[in-house]
Amino acid sequence: MKVVKGNMKTQTEGFRIIHELPDRIRLRLARLAQPYFAVPEFEAQIADLDGVRTVRTNRPARSLVVTYDGRAEVRASLLQWLAALPPNAFLNRCDPEPSSRPNRAPLIVSSLALLLLPLLPAPLKAAVTLASISPTVIKGIRTLLSRGVKMEVLDALAVSIAAAQGGFFTANATHLLIQTGGYLEARAERQAHGLLKRLLKRPPEQAWVERDGELRRVDASEIRENEHVVVGPGDSVPVDGRVEHGSALLDQSALTGESVPVRKEQGEEVLAGGLVTEGRLVLRAIRVGEDTAAAALGRYIEESLRRPSDTQRLAEQLGDRLVYLTFALGGLILALTLDPRRVASVFLIDYSCAIKLGTPLAFISGMHDAAEAGILFRGAQALENLAGADTVVFDKTGTLTHSRLEITDVVPLRSDRSAEQLLALAASLEEHTRHPYAEALVKYAEHRGYRHVDHGAVEFVIAHGLNTVVNGRKIFVGSRHYLEKHVGISFASHEQALSDRFAEGKTLLYVAEDKTLIGYVALRDQVREDAAGVLARLKTLGIDQRIMLTGDARHRAEALAAELGIDQLYAEQSPDDKLRIVETLKAAGGKVVFVGDGVNDAPALVSAHIGIAMPRGALLSREAADVILLRDDLEGLVQARELAVRTLDLIHSNFRLDVVVNSLLLVAATFGWLPPIAAGMLHNGTTLAILTRSLKQRAIPGTLGRSGSFTAHPDLGNETEPTV
């Protein structure tokens, strides 16, 4: 096959080099001026390039500074990558503020004013002070007129009181502290939003596609459904697709958090964002662009940043009310002491900053830690609700069990038939149908190297079974109802043995020859290896009720419930029944978590306080869920609960710390023991300490040995043509 390059940009439109050293380059990029440009993602992608050491952007100046190891190929790769960016790359539809870099200009102006102050005559000191503190004063006036008495109003009063008394140094120093605190708080907020944004890398901007018998390099955004996409070592998968040819090891940590690459072969589905570490795949594109799983997860994370929790709203309200307490205390002190310095000190101490900022940052940090472990929360409320849950309701199939069957027994009932012969006979017929029982049976037989049995034409009896002729004898495979009612075969002599299998929760597939039952194959849902352990750990984490809801037959459900230690079972339930039971549990006062994966689970997922979807579940169930587990195991459920509880504990302890420290500072300021400058320094220090504590990343128990990262790092500058 001929390989050509299509639509590959080599010009340097959109940027130019401003300054360059052997290991450092400064560029001007027009796209940095765009308000919705995702700076954290952009910086993270450049930092991933081989040889790059540091990346720094300045949005107001539209400047990008990159330091690297000095190699010419690294420089060329960087420029080539920038040149190849489509015009709409890294543009987000979400609120641009968290991605904007805090402005340092007010800090610089305040610092210069403070340094120049001793050198100026008295009239100029007043003018410089007025000019320096004017942003804080204006902000306070605007806040008072638009929102009432808030912390900005207290700050404005504090610096104004100092300046009015002729304390120009105190006014400027206090203003600098306020500006520094605001700048550091803005940086902390930006860092928090950036945590989640950086978890999801963007799909590759270029990809190899087969078109008209040729392999073309095109923008990933141009790939169409059903086109064939080729990915080789070092390539990131640009679409959700099905493997048509080849096999490869795929690093899926960008989507699942799993550190061990998984093998993908013909017929299996591959998701966008995976990285080929070994091998080569030809994929047929199933979902492209904004329809891919990676794009959906990106929207999920963006949505999570815009969903405050009840605790966040309460923190906002409490913080606003506490401002009035500080304001009233300042007024009382002025009336009793007529000491403006004490009033200024009191106004610089406030409970609201740490409460209002620390709470959302703790939630964002918690969601980030969860995402690194392969758990996505749809907003802070989901995390808060999970922390308070006391009841977990499990759907059975695909949740406590895998969405596949396993063969447990092959039992011949005649002495002239062996288990191997019975298996070969049943598999030779069942390979002609796509029923889940048939797929499990055929895969089991193939794994054991069975020999195909020649047979005549196969006749299908829908929803019952099938039959054919082998060596002149009529062979039937199917359900008991089919063999007993339609064929007239007696089961009387085997009732006890069959009852024992049913008591074990197994499904039986029967094989008959002419009018005689010659054997059966026992199947059961493949129970997740970690299910029993997870249920036991949930009990120790405060989950009082562990309930199983299923539409499966009662005998099978009861056997599984007994094996796993389920507290309560509802079997043979319809989707409407599942919803009704969840509503009943809620009405009884339970804080209900529902874990499911099927389309019929969507109503219950929405109704529960927390809906948790498994990764292999139906798209509708994932859309309805509040939490998505990206790894196909139940361990993530325990980790999610542990992290949710820990995050709420952190928020509560932050609140206690804020109240105790600031109360002590207010007492000291009230009695005149704390001058305004010291009050500002100690208050801001306390606030920043709480914010830093909120942002501290903490490993989730049980994730050691995993990559725990959503940032699989493909070689974005790789232009190597794949072998065809």
Q: What confidence tens digit (pLDDT) does each residue in 417-433 have?
A: 899 999 999 988 888 87
pTM of the model: 0.59
Picking from 291, 310, 335, the residue at the C-terminal end of a domain is 291
CA-wise closest residue to 402 among 560, 624, 204, 558:
560
**pLDDT for the residue numbered 98:** 44
Average pLDDT, integer, range 190-216: 66
Residue 359 is assigned to a structural domain of this protein: no
Report strand pairing: 473-478 vs 592-596: unpaired
Secondary structure of residue 307 in the 3-state scheme: coil
Phi-psi region of 702 (alpha: psi -120 to 50; beta: other; left: phi over 0): left
Say if residue 601's pLDDT is above 80: no
Of the residues 489, 511, 526, the one at which a domain ends: 526
The DSSP bridge partners found for residue 269 are 242
Gap between the Cα atoms of 48 and 712, Å rounded: 9
Tally of domains within the chain: 3
Identify the weakest region by mean pLDDT among 22-36, 317-331, 457-471, 490-504: 317-331
Is residue 679 a contact partner of residue 348, using CB atoms and an 8 Å limit? yes
Q: What is the CATH number of the domain that holds 84?
A: 3.30.70.100
What's the confidence (pLDDT) of residue 192? 52
Highest mean pLDDT among 176-185, 253-262, 517-526 belongs to 517-526
Note down the domain range covering 274. Answer: 206-291
Given 251, 395, 552, 601, the catalytic residue: 395
Q: How far is the first Cα of the chain from the last one, in angstroms, to the nearest whole number?
A: 6
Q: Is residue 719 part of a domain?
A: no
Domain boundary among the residues 526, 547, 579 is at 526
Calculate the average pLDDT of the chain. Answer: 77
Q: CB neighbours of 139 closer than 8 A, spacing ≥ 6? A: 152, 155, 156
pLDDT at position 400 over 50: yes
157 within domain boundaries: no
CB 227 within 8 A of CB 209: yes
Has residue 408 been placed in a domain? yes
**Are 348 and 151 within 8 A, CB to CB?**
no
pLDDT-based confidence at 35, cuts 50/70/90? low
- Provide the sign of the torsion angle of the four alpha carbons 8, 11, 15, 20, taken in this order: positive
Amino acid type, 494: H
Q: What would the mean pLDDT of 194-203 be, rounded to a whole number? A: 51
In a domain, 658, yes or no: no
Residue 235 covered by a domain: yes
Q: Per-residue pLDDT tens for 629-640? A: 878 788 889 999
CATH number of 217's domain: 2.70.150.10
Residue 251 counted as domain residue: yes
pLDDT in tens, 641-685: 999 999 899 888 888 888 888 888 888 888 888 887 787 778 777
What pLDDT digit, counting tens, does each position of 456-495 carry? 888 887 667 889 999 899 999 988 888 988 889 989 888 8
Q: How confident is the model at residue 566 (pLDDT cuts 50, 70, 90)?
A: very high
Which of 125-134, 176-185, 347-356, 358-367 comes out lowest in average pLDDT?
A: 176-185
Residue 465 is assigned to a structural domain of this protein: yes
- Is 395 among the residues known to form the active site? yes
* CA–CA gap between residue 518 and residue 412 (Å, rounded): 6
- Domain holding 506: CATH number? 3.40.1110.10
